[in-house]
Amino acid sequence: MSTTPAAGGPAPGRHERVAAEEAGMRLDLGVAQWLGVSRTRAATLVATDRVRVNGARERASYKLEAGDRLTADVPPPEGRDIVGENIPLAIAWEDDEVIVVDKPAGMVVHPAPGHWSGTLVNALMGRGGALTPAGDPDRAGLVHRLDKDTSGLLLVARTERAHRTLSAALAARRIERKYAVACWGHLESDRQTVDKPVGRDPRDRQKMAIVANGRTAKTDFRRLARFPSADLLQARLHTGRTHQIRVHLSSIGHPVLGDDIYGGGGGRRLAALPPRRHWLHAAWLRFPHPVTGKVVDVRSPLPSDLTESLVALSEGADLFAAPLTLEYFGFYHDAD
């Protein structure tokens, strides 16, 4: 019997927990957060009577209370096949243990309802080579995720050893993730930290929000350039909550350009952004190699659509004495 699931997802067997930070959540969402699985898989566990609350069966919509005793009997994975597909991928770095993918905007990361094909996982499987089966089988090898319309660097483990080690490094905040982001308006200062808890929006469960009972979330922002209507920022994640950068910037009145969900979708033509594209790019990833321990430093240049957006945001000003790159704006100047 296990009280805490292993990193990367729960092992088959019985798991127990006393609800604490899950208080106020629906049962399916609380189980998903506790076990580290998708909401769909959590809902399936609840619907098939594999989850009990204080010894009783409850619906997925049951609102958890602090002190509720949760038990989950996790079956072995059914092994639903993930179909490999011949989808081109930009690989920024790889060896026998790790792959760093430079994901394009618009690509869903893993199979889920509505997106059973065409995902990054399908592309990785179609590429051949080993991927760790650790955790949810639909997310084979993924150490972290990116939103569909966020581009940039994503870390994938090829072995169980790499997945275990990198997941622990992520939890211990030894993996550095820095994003290039443009927001509407101007921050109060050149450097600003937002330290606000993030959780499911109680009014719209498809969104995240700043909520008192949310999970700790902290983001450092550094202004790289000030345009007439927007700021170009470097965002450094201390934690990795769902939609963290987008929610934090929205909470201080400066939503991400093109973010239709969190208030930044207006003015898309002014920012020269394509439909459904928001201005967020995972440009810098630094992590300890899971075998050697040496720091691996991987960088991704701005995609062409975001570069074109910067030209539009400049409103014709003669700002650029060099090619318009993240290096030009000093994005990488604060390397340790």
User: Do 194 and 233 belong together in one domain?
Assistant: yes
Number of domains in the chain: 3
User: Do 182 and 303 belong together in one domain?
Assistant: yes
User: Do 291 and 205 belong together in one domain?
Assistant: yes
Beta bridge partners of 182: 232
On whether the CB atoms of residues 176 and 203 are closer than 8 A, the answer is no
Specify the pLDDT at position 126: 87
Among residues of the chain, what percentage have pLDDT more than 70? 87
In this model, does residue 175 exceed pLDDT 80? yes
User: Do 309 and 252 belong together in one domain?
Assistant: yes
User: What share of residues in the chain are helix, strand, coil (percent, to 5)?
Assistant: 20, 30, 55
Mean pLDDT, residues 64-90 = 83
> Cα–Cα distance between 141 and 120 in angstroms, integer?
11
- In a domain? residue 164: yes
CA proximity to 272, closest of 333, 229, 209, 210: 229
> Cα–Cα distance between 288 and 293 in angstroms, integer?
5
User: Do 129 and 230 belong together in one domain?
Assistant: no
Domain boundary among 121, 143, 171: 171
Tally the residues of the chain.
336
pLDDT in tens, 109-130: 987 766 667 899 889 988 876 6
User: Do 156 and 60 belong together in one domain?
Assistant: no
On whether the CB atoms of residues 133 and 159 are closer than 8 A, the answer is no
Specify the pLDDT at position 219: 98
On whether the CB atoms of residues 306 and 179 are closer than 8 A, the answer is no
CATH of residue 236:
3.30.2350.10
- In a domain? residue 85: no
Domain boundary among 152, 171, 190: 171
Task: Give the number of C-alpha atoms closer than 13 A to the C-alpha of residue 205, restricted to the C-beta side.
Answer: 9
- In a domain? residue 19: yes
- In a domain? residue 331: no
Instruction: Show the domain range for 189.
Output: 176-313
Specify the pLDDT at position 336: 45
User: Do 188 and 208 belong together in one domain?
Assistant: yes
User: Do 108 and 232 belong together in one domain?
Assistant: no
On whether the CB atoms of residues 16 and 3 are closer than 8 A, the answer is yes
What is the pLDDT confidence band of residue 1, given thresholds at 50, 70 and 90?
A: very low
Specify the DSSP element, H or E, that contains 248: helix 244-251
User: Do 302 and 182 belong together in one domain?
Assistant: yes
pTM for the model stands at 0.75
Beta bridge partners of 81: none
- In a domain? residue 318: no
E-strand stretches of the chain? 13-18, 51-53, 69-74, 90-94, 98-103, 151-157, 176-184, 191-195, 198-201, 204-210, 218-226, 230-237, 280-288, 295-299
The identity of residue 177, as a single letter, is R
- In a domain? residue 319: no
User: Do 251 and 164 belong together in one domain?
Assistant: no
pLDDT in tens, 278-296: 999 999 999 999 999 999 9
CATH of residue 34:
3.10.290.10
Domain boundary among 133, 151, 171: 171
User: Do 308 and 187 belong together in one domain?
Assistant: yes
Provide the annotated active-site residues. Answer: 147
What is the pLDDT confidence band of residue 94, given thresholds at 50, 70 and 90?
A: very high
- In a domain? residue 156: yes
User: Do 183 and 249 belong together in one domain?
Assistant: yes
- In a domain? residue 293: yes
